[in-house]
Amino acid sequence: MRRTLAAAAIALGLHTLAFLFLEAYRDLAFRAGRPFCHATDISDIGCIVLPGFIVLAIVAAVVGILLERLDRHFWRADPK
């Protein structure tokens, strides 16, 4: 359980760093959040980017957990 939580935490940390430092990742968050907000004013950027950030955070956590499970399944399995 600790490994799964650690994998999710690392994935979320990388997600946050990518969001802060990579413009292409911010654009991806903007595009992912666009369906959740119908406003087009400049003041609604937070309304658009926040859902995109959350959607990408969930995806990052799921990918981290899946990679940890694959690592455990393929490389750490006991031969029987």
Q: What's the pLDDT tens digit per position in 64-76?
A: 889 888 888 887 6
For residue 79, being part of any structural domain is answered with no
For residue 30, being part of any structural domain is answered with yes
SS3 state of residue 80: coil
Please give the residue range of the domain that contains residue 40: 2-74
For residue 80, being part of any structural domain is answered with no
Mean predicted confidence (pLDDT) in 3-19: 87
pLDDT band at 8 (very low <50, low <70, confident <90, very high): confident
pLDDT band at 79 (very low <50, low <70, confident <90, very high): low
Angle at CA of residue 53, ends 51 and 55, nearest 5°: 65
62 or 48: whose pLDDT is higher? 62
- If one counts the domains in the chain, the total is 1
